[in-house]
Every structure is written in C-alpha cells, then in structure tokens.
Structure 1
Amino acid sequence: MSAGTPTTVVRQGRRRANGALEGEVLTALQRAEGPLTPREVQGRLAGELTYSTVVTILSRLHAKEVLTRTPRGRAYAYAPVTDDCGLAARRMHKVLDGRPDREAVLTRFVTELTAVDEALLRQLLAVGGR
C-alpha cells in the first residue's frame, strides 16, 4: 500500500474508506437526541460494523476533538462538539492555522469565491463589526 492511500473496511462486499466510516458515525451522533455509547452507535449504522470498529472510530473522532465523551456505566457516551456547519468551520480554521502565510491563503480563498458568496462574506464581516 502506498503512502496516502486510504485504508478501507470491507463488509458484505462493500468497501468504505475510513473517512466515510467516520462520516457515518458522526451523522448518527448528530441525529441523536443526546450522547450515545458505542453499542448504541453500532445499532444506528447500516451494515455490520463490529463493536471494536465502532469504538476505534469513536476514539479517533474524540482524539480529533470532534466528539466529547462522558462515562456511562462501563463505556463512554459520545456527542459531537458542534453541528455540521460548526465542524466545517473548525476544519477551515485548522487548515488556515496549518499554513505559514495566512494572508496568501485568505487572499486565494476570497478571489475564488462566487459573486454570491463574496457578497455574503462582505455582509457577514460588516455585521460582525470587522
């Protein structure tokens, strides 16, 4: 396997990249009315993921600071730290924080916006007092 090739999990002839599995787990948690244990998450997912696979995915998402966890019995119950839009904003911040030339990144980002998105961004910045 070459560097950068995503690992996959095979279940019933279906291949899913680890990122897809994380997305499915995150979606299940976002749809829940409260924190879920790994067993509860496993029950909400299509397919036959093993309990240990679900625990691994939840642990990875927690390590990425996408989920919080609190003890519940002998397990942890997991919940997303924010909604889908908030997670997208966090990812954008991490990308920006990981680049040495923030101005260049922001300039490129803004110059590639559609006219509608540019107008929305200007409106949001004006309302925010910036």
Structure 2
Amino acid sequence: MTRPLGTLEQSVMDRLWSWSQPVAVREVLEDLRRDRMLAYTTVMTVMDNLHRNGVLTPEKDGRAYVYRPAVTREQFTAVLMGDVLAGSANTTATFLHFLEQMPPAEVASLCAALDGHEKNAPDPTP
C-alpha cells in the first residue's frame, strides 16, 4: 500500500518530477531553501525515506548519490487512487461519486481515453 506524501516529501517530489535529470540532495536542498530553511540532513533523510518507499531511485555519482523518480507523478497518483478504491465497499459507487466532482470536460476526456483503451485491448474471446 502506498501512502500519501507528507508536505516536505511532496515538495521534494514536485521538484524531482519537474526536473529531467538526476539530482543530488544538495541541489534539492538549495531549491527548497528558497521557500524555507532546512538542514541538509533533513532533506537527505526525506529522500532516503522516499527511496526506501520505492518512489526515488539512487545512482552513484562519484562519491555522492543522485536521485531520480522511480515512478511518474501520474503512476504514483494512480497507485494512491487504486488504494483508496480498494478500501471502498463499493468501488463503482465510489468512483462515480469521484466523477461527479470532476469538471464535465475532464469526464469527457476520461471517457474518450477509456474508449481508446478498450479499442486497443486484446479481444478476450478465443
């Protein structure tokens, strides 16, 4: 089960998801310090926790490590949504209530994506 990210974890991941290359803890720290003062060890611990939870992947770069997201923002969010739906007694009703909260244009886009997905799915009949 994936859990929602905490505030600092979300700030770290927002940066990593927006950057297109692996980054060192120091780079993340410097960017975060534009909003608030944090210790290097705090950011390092958060990034290590994100690695242990499968959200970040470390790579050795000289004597240090750089990190990249192990999953996209969309993949992470999909897992969270799946966990929430799995916790419901009636996943269909829960999902329909979710759809009721979405703007009509987004519901239409979702329906179009589902139609395209169904057309590309393999035929279940032999």
In structure 2, stretches of 5+ residues that fail to align are 122-126
> Aligned letter for 2:62?
G
CA distance in 2, matches of 1:95, 1:71: 35
Q: 1:111 to 1:95 in 2, by over 3 A?
A: closer
Backbone CA RMSD of aligned residues: 2.4
Q: Any gaps of 5 or more consecutive residues in structure 1?
A: 1-17
61, 65, 71: which one pairs with 2:60? 71
Residue pairs, 1:41-60, within 5 angstroms = 41-45=28-32, 46=34, 47-60=36-49
TM-score by length of structure 1 reads 0.68
Deviation at 1:58, TM superposition (A): 0.3
Asked whether the equivalents of residues 56 and 68 of structure 2 are also in contact (C-alpha less than 8 Å), the reply is yes
- Aligned to 1:76, the other structure's residue is in SS state strand
In the alignment, which residue of structure 2 is the partner of 1:3? none
Residue 118 of structure 1 and its aligned partner are, at CA, apart by 4.1
Q: Which residue is 2:124 aligned to?
A: none
Percent of aligned pairs with the same amino acid: 32
Highest RCO, 1 vs 2 (Cα 8 Å, sep ≥ 6): 2
From 105, 109, 120, the counterpart of 2:109: 120
Report the residue type matching 2:92 in the other structure.
L
Cα offset, 1:100, TM superposition: 7.2
Q: CA–CA distance in 1 between the matches of 2:114 and 2:57?
A: 30
More strand by share: 1
CA distance in 2, matches of 1:22, 1:61: 8
* Residue 86 of structure 1: aligned partner: 75
Q: Match for 1:34 among 13, 21, 31?
A: 21
For residues 24 and 106 of structure 1, do their structure 2 counterparts lie closer, same or farther at Cα, with a shift above 3 Å needed?
A: same
State the distance in 2 between where 1:33 and 1:120 align: 27
Q: Count matched residues.
A: 110
> For structure 1, which segment, 63-72 or 87-96, has the greater mean C-alpha deviation from structure 2 after superposition?
87-96
| Structure having the larger proportion of residues in helix | 2
